[in-house]
């Protein structure tokens, strides 16, 4: 498999990585950069566990080829806290009790972060539709929605 | 003394909603799950060759081409691993040996230097099959016309409370014969007889199953697995491989959802088998989402025929249940699901005459295993809907009917066991009040019909009579406490609750307690399995005993040093105080170094290590013919759920206006975590009620993806959910606590079915209650045109 060398920004760090042509962004993040916070739940773009921000927009990183990420700006769950300080949403999801097994949490936090950036004051319905692609099997979404609304305030 | 630490305001850890002790790692992406461990360049990737047939003889397997492929390190087949294993009935081998029994059953596996090579190698394995007639229906499977799926059933090993029938497909036949059902029907003024078919569903943890195995040169095996049962896996896999349990080490980090699917042994044995032939190499096996749907445990299907009757006043008199469980190709775990369905077959109702046949049948379907509250959702789906109709037939308000017949202290249960104190009346009241049951309310538009439904439930921990728990408590120089335990944090919050219990029993603030993780069978104390909603109660008891043991050691040390009696000493807020002399000392240092005795007499104490062990000893076996015995189970948790819904006449779509759920948890150690469990369980129950079904056509699952197998999303849960809990203490629970992890999804299908009936007047017998089914039913009855 031919390798392609790409340079991109991940969590504010410039990274240069050799990637096989068929490697996904998810695989690159987990295997090449050892950022294992981003999770693989289906590898088919259906569960949202692998959601990252790509140039500010949430994407399923299992559906993006790493080779296409030249120059991209990527934020993963590891990039949400700045200098050891949790983001407001990370804080509210703790306070609201919106985490159980935690496997959907990274993707959920990324989708909700993107929502609050484009819509700082979302309605309940807007919150729910922003995370419709992030499946959670533990919480019934109750406290996750609470957390996003708390962060919006 | 004035500013003594012992006098600082301290929160009682019991009943406090502390935030979870695993949450910082989980929100920052630093929590470690199995697939996050780094194994370096030596890591090999495993894939399984799976059966394309539901039932066939294996005539020939040729692995030579796969073995010759560059990058392939090892190929294994069933011939090397003939030992049968199973949690209850030992009917399963790691790989199929002479025959395959379901589509997806592993027949061989490879380990290679990359996923791609492993997948190519799988394609190169040649297997020749001779197809056999298959069984796709449990009732047919139980008949003498069905082909045998396990002809050697009579030779399989099982405990003495499982009753397989030799030379049939019946892996367990559990019977209840209580009272005299036949003559009781004559005394019934009203009788309802109904049949329901509950489909197979999937647990759908967002993290699929994953395990890594490595054998060292001396033959010791280490397994890293996403697991609810590291100790059961150690025992069963060691047995399968003919190695000693102590030569098999299971390390179980955070689990991305289990719901029963990661209990017992399933795919974890595959990489271990490979590792035994490839010493020194770590081998990772991770299920694809498609494999997750049908190659591992599923919730088995149930066909239930229920007949129930009451007298003119609405007192339940008789119940007859005929349950056929579609156990699938192996019933190693499913036999106990059937048993649980049998010994709890009356539901939480006081019924003097009960006859139950709960029959576990081999079929050529995916393997049925433990699924959150196993047997109970399925059973209650039939029973609670039949009883809903019976109440209506008797002309009695449904809430009144449930309260009249709900099980209470002193009742002789379906197995002859005497019921303990419980809060079912309060649970029913809570739900009835929350939803204004009995009050007919208007729909929000003329295009919609409105209805309310209510259902009650019970569930006992379903397990062998004697599953053990153990714990230790150690301390460090700073006075912080570490609790060792073997139960797993699978999202339910057990590590947090155990820390709360240890803090309270020891006398230190909650923040001072850590849990020793990940659970590792080499260091962690034994725990049977993280199943059955048993940890808060069973592991909780062990942790409390360990903390009390540590506390005793500390007090004895201080008493000797101060020449006082331990009875005058206490530990408050992490400080030892004497009520007699008013002296105090913090725990720092003394828990490691002990204390100097006065007058230069030397030292006392030493490193503190407390131990605790708990095992229920009072559960008895039941008579094979009648299902009667003194004590079938440790205890029951009871509860009630209800739904207020609207149905769109044009589409059949259900809109939930409000949900309510109330369970008797004995004592809520952490109320926020209890509520979170109830919310999540309610959502999972509702998802199973509205959407979920493994669609099986001649043994093929036709919908193995999230597109075709839909689970509830955030917009589906857009309604207020009221979750008041009840606290009637459990006599042998820590602070009276009993489990509630599984219970919230048990009555949900029935509650929804009853609400649909209230809205449209039609009873639906085949969940899931999809919009399509509801619309077609309304069309059929002329409700819509």
Position B1 scores a pLDDT of: 41
The secondary structure of residue B419, as a DSSP letter, is P
Contacts of A86 in chain B (CB under 8 A): 27-28
Phi, psi of B142 (to 5 degrees): -80, -15
Question: SS3 of B535, please?
Answer: helix
Position B6 scores a pLDDT of: 66
The dihedral through the CA atoms of B732, B735, B740, B741 has a sign that is negative
B739-765 pLDDT, tens digit each: 999 999 999 999 999 999 999 999 999
B53 and B543 Cβ atoms separated by less than 8 Å: no
B680-697 pLDDT, tens digit each: 999 999 999 999 999 999
Residue B595 has pLDDT above 70, yes or no: yes
| Subunit contact B714:A131, Cβ cutoff 8 A | yes
**Test the B interface: residue of A74, A138, A141, A147 with most B CBs within 10 Å:** A138
Position A117 scores a pLDDT of: 97
The minimum CA-CA distance between B68 and chain A, rounded to whole Å, is 21
Domain boundaries B51-132+210-286, CATH class? alpha beta
Question: SS3 of B541, please?
Answer: helix
B15-57 pLDDT, tens digit each: 999 999 999 999 999 999 999 999 999 999 999 999 999 999 9
Residue B2 has pLDDT above 60, yes or no: no
Chain B residues 607-646 with CB within 8 Å of chain A: none
Residue B4 has pLDDT above 70, yes or no: no
**The CATH number of the domain covering residues in B301-463+621-780:** 3.30.365.10
Token pair for B301: 């299907």
Phi, psi of A151 (to 5 degrees): -70, -25
**Test the B interface: residue of A42, A128, A140, A144 with most B CBs within 10 Å:** A140
Distance CA B315, CA B282 (A): 62
| Subunit contact B679:A140, Cβ cutoff 8 A | yes
B734 and B670 Cβ atoms separated by less than 8 Å: no
Strands B353-362 and B316-328: parallel
What is the pLDDT of chain B when averaged over all its residues? 97
Token pair for A89: 């949403």
- Which of left, alpha, beta for A6 (phi over 0: left; psi -120 to 50: alpha)? beta
Closest CA relative to residue B367, chosen from B165, B81, B98, B87: B87
B621-655 pLDDT, tens digit each: 999 999 999 999 999 999 999 999 999 999 999 99
Q: B447-464 in b/e burial notation, b at 16+ Cβ within 10 A?
A: ebbbbbbbbbbbbbbbbe
The minimum CA-CA distance between A134 and chain B, rounded to whole Å, is 8
* CB neighbour list of residue B155: distance below 8 Å, 6 or more residues apart: none
B539-570 pLDDT, tens digit each: 999 999 999 999 999 999 999 999 999 999 99
- Split at pLDDT 50, 70, 90, the class of B446 is very high
Say yes or no: B680 contacts chain A, CB-CB below 8 A: yes
B494-537 pLDDT, tens digit each: 999 999 999 999 999 999 999 999 999 999 999 999 999 999 99
B240-284 pLDDT, tens digit each: 999 999 999 999 999 999 999 999 999 999 999 999 999 999 999
Q: Would you tell me which CATH number, out of the four given (3.40.640.10, 3.40.190.10, 3.30.365.10, 3.40.800.10), belongs to the domain B5-26+467-614?
A: 3.30.365.10
How does DSSP assign B103-153, residue by residue?
A: TT-EEEEEEESSHHHHHHHHHH-EEEEEE------HHHHHSTTSPPS-TTG
B106 and B335 Cβ atoms separated by less than 8 Å: no
Distance CA B102, CA B111 (A): 23
B91-123 pLDDT, tens digit each: 999 999 999 999 999 999 999 999 999 999 999
**Residue B242: C-alpha distances to residues B83, B86, B378, B767 (Å):** 8, 14, 37, 44
For chain A, which domains are there? Answer: 3-79 (3.10.20.30), 88-152 (1.10.150.120)
The minimum CA-CA distance between B115 and chain A, rounded to whole Å, is 12
Distance CA B52, CA B57 (A): 12
Closest CA relative to residue B47, chosen from B68, B82, B70, B76: B76
* CB neighbour list of residue B182: distance below 8 Å, 6 or more residues apart: none
Out of B268, B378, B527, B742, which one is annotated catalytic? B742
What average pLDDT does this structure show over B721-739? 98
The minimum CA-CA distance between B110 and chain A, rounded to whole Å, is 21
Q: Do domains B5-26+467-614 and B301-463+621-780 have the same CATH topology?
A: yes
Exposed / middle / buried, residue B440 (Cβ in 10 Å: 0-12, 13-18, 19+): exposed
Closest CA relative to residue A36, chosen from B25, B204, B262, B258: B25
| Domain chopping of chain B, boundaries | 5-26+467-614, 51-132+210-286, 301-463+621-780
B301 and B286 Cβ atoms separated by less than 8 Å: no
* CB neighbour list of residue B95: distance below 8 Å, 6 or more residues apart: B76, B77, B78, B81, B106, B107, B108, B109, B270, B273
Position B785 scores a pLDDT of: 85
Distance CA B23, CA B30 (A): 10
Position B7 scores a pLDDT of: 65
pLDDT < 70 regions, chain A: none
Q: In what order do the strands lie in the sheet with A51-54?
A: A13-20, A3-10, A73-75, A51-54, A57-60
What average pLDDT does this structure show over B768-780? 98
Q: List, in sequence order, the alpha helices (H) in chain A.
A: 25-27, 88-96, 105-118, 124-130, 142-152
Chain B residues 235-274 with CB within 8 Å of chain A: 254-259
């Amino acid at each position: 498999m031919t390798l392609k060398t790409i340079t991109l920004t991940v969590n504010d760090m410039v990274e240069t990585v050799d990637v096989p042509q068929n490697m996904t962004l998810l695989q690159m993040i987990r295997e090449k950069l050892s950022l294992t916070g981003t999770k693989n739940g289906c590898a088919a773009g259906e569960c949202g566990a692998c959601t990252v921000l790509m140039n500010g927009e949430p994407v399923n990183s299992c559906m993006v080829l790493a080779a296409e990420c030249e120059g991209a700006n990527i934020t993963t769950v590891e990039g949400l806290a700045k200098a050891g300080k949790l983001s407001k949403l990370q804080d509210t999801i703790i306070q609201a009790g919106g985490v159980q097994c935690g496997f959907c949490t990274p993707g959920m936090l990324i989708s909700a972060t993107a929502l609050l950036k484009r819509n700082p004051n979302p309605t309940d319905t807007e919150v729910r539709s922003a995370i419709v692609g992030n499946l959670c099997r533990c919480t019934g979404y109750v406290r996750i929605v609470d957390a996003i609304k708390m962060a919006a305030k | 003394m004035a500013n003594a630490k012992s006098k600082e305001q301290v929160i009682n850890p019991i009943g406090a909603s502390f935030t979870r002790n695993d949450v910082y790692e989980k929100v920052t992406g630093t929590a470690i799950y199995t697939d996050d461990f780094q194994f370096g360049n030596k890591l090999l990737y495993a894939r399984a060759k799976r059966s394309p047939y539901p039932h066939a003889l294996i005539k020939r397997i040729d692995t030579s081409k796969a073995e010759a492929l560059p990058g392939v390190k090892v190929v294994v087949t069933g011939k090397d691993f003939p030992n049968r294993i199973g949690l209850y009935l030992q009917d399963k081998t790691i790989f199929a040996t002479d025959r395959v029994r379901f589509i997806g059953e592993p027949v061989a596996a490879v380990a290679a230097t990359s996923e791609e090579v492993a997948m190519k190698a799988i394609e190169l394995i040649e297997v020749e099959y001779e197809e056999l007639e298959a069984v796709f229906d449990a009732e047919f499977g139980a008949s003498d016309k069905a082909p045998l799926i396990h002809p050697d059933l009579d030779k399989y090993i099982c405990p003495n409370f499982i009753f397989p029938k030799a030379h049939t497909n019946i892996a367990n036949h559990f019977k209840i014969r209580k009272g005299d059902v036949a003559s009781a029907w004559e005394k019934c003024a009203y009788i309802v007889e109904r049949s329901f078919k509950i489909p197979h569903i999937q647990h759908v943890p967002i993290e699929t199953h994953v395990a890594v195995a490595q054998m060292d040169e001396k033959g010791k095996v280490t397994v890293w697995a996403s697991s609810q049962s590291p100790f059961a896996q150690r025992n069963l896999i060691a047995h399968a491989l003919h190695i000693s349990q102590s030569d098999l080490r299971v390390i179980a980090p955070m689990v991305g959802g289990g719901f029963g699917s990661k209990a017992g042994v399933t795919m974890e044995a595959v990489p271990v088998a490979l590792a035994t032939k490839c010493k020194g190499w770590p081998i990772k096996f991770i299920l694809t989402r498609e494999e997750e749907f049908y190659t591992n445990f599923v919730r088995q299907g149930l066909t239930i025929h229920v007949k129930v009757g009451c007298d003119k006043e609405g007192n339940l008199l008789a119940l007859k249940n005929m349950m056929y469980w579609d156990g699938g190709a192996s019933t190693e775990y499913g036999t106990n699901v059937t048993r649980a369905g049998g010994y709890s077959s009356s539901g939480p109702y006081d019924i003097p005459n009960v006859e139950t046949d709960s029959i576990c049948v081999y079929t050529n379907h995916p393997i049925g295993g433990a699924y959150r509250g196993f047997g109970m959702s399925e059973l209650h789906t039939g029973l609670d809907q039949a009883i809903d109709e019976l109440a209506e037939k008797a002309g009695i308000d449904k809430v009144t009917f449930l309260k009249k017949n709900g099980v209470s202290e002193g009742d002789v249960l379906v197995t002859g066991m005497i019921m303990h104190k419980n809060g079912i009346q309060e649970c029913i009241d809570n739900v009835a009040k929350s939803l204004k049951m009995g009050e007919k309310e208007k729909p929000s538009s003329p295009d919609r019909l409105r209805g309310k439904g209510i259902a009650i439930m019970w569930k006992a921990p379903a397990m062998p009579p004697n599953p053990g728990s153990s714990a230790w408590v150690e301390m460090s120089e700073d006075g912080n406490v570490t609790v060792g335990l073997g139960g797993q944090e699978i999202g339910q919050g057990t590590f947090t609750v155990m820390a709360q219990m240890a803090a309270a029993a020891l006398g230190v603030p909650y923040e001072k307690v850590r849990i020793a993780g990940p659970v590792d069978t080499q260091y962690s104390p034994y725990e049977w399995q993280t199943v059955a909603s048993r940890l808060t109660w069973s592991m909780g008891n062990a942790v409390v005993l360990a903390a009390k043991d540590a506390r005793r050691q500390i007090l004895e040390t201080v008493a000797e040093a101060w020449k006082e009696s331990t009875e005058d000493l206490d530990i408050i807020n992490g400080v030892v105080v004497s009520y007699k002399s008013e002296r105090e000392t913090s725990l720092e240092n003394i828990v490691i170094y002990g204390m100097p005795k006065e007058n230069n007499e030397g030292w006392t104490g030493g490193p503190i290590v407390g131990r605790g062990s708990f095992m229920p000893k009072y559960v008895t076996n039941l008579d094979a013919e009648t299902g009667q015995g003194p004590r079938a189970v440790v205890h029951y948790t009871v509860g009630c759920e209800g739904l207020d819904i609207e149905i769109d006449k044009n589409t059949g779509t259900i809109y939930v206006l409000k949900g309510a759920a109330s369970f008797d948890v004995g004592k809520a150690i952490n109320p926020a975590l209890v509520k979170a469990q109830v919310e999540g369980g309610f959502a999972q129950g509702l998802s199973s009620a509205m959407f979920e079904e493994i669609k099986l056509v001649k043994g093929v699952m036709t919908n193995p993806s999230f597109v075709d197998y839909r689970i509830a999303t955030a917009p589906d849960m857009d309604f207020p959910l009221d979750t008041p809990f009840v606290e009637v203490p459990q006599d042998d629970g820590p602070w009276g606590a009993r489990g509630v992890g599984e219970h919230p999804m048990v009555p949900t299908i029935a509650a929804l079915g009853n609400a649909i009936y209230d809205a449209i007047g039609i009873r639906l017998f085949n969940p899931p209650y999809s919009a399509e089914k509801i619309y077609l039913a309304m069309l059929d009855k002329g409700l819509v045109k």
